[in-house]
Amino acid sequence: MEYVEQKFYYHNDQEQSTDNLQPFEQLTGKNVYEVIRVREGIPLFLEDHLRRFRASALSVGIPLTDSDDILINRLYQLVAKNGVSDQNIKLIWNKDIGLLAFFTKSPYPPASYYQTGMKTTLLKLEREDPNIKIQREEYQKIVLAEREKTGSYEVLLVDQEDNVTEGSRSNLFIVKGDKLYTSPAKTVLLGIVRSKVVAICQQQQIDIIEQNIPVTELNTIDGAFISGTGNDVLPIASIDSITLESTKNPVVSTIMREYDRLVKQYIASKKEA
pLDDT tens string 86-141: 999 999 999 899 999 999 999 899 999 999 999 999 999 877 666 555 556 788 88
| 143-168 residue pLDDT tens | 889 999 999 999 999 999 999 999 99
Q: Is the pLDDT of residue 264 over 80?
A: yes
Give the per-residue pLDDT at 140: 82
In this prediction, residue 135 carries a pLDDT of: 58
Specify the pTM: 0.92
- Scanning the chain, the segments in alpha helix (DSSP H) are 22-25, 46-59, 68-82, 113-116, 137-150, 192-203, 250-272
**Percentage of the chain lying above the pLDDT 90 cut:** 84
pLDDT of amino acid 129: 65
What local confidence, expressed as pLDDT, does residue 182 receive? 96
Q: What mean pLDDT is predicted for residues 80-85?
A: 97
Q: Which of 209, 160, 212, 165 is nearest to 191 (CA)?
A: 165
Q: How many CB atoms lie within 10 A of CB 265?
A: 10
Q: Domains of the chain by range and CATH? A: 5-104 (3.30.470.10), 113-265 (3.20.10.10)
Residues 10-19 have a mean pLDDT of 97
Assess whether pLDDT exceeds 90 at residue 196: yes
Contacts of 147 (CB under 8 A, 6+ apart): 121, 153, 154, 155, 168
Q: Name the 3-class secondary structure at 61.
A: coil
Residue-level pLDDT at 134? 55
Decide: helix, strand or coil at residue 92.
Answer: strand
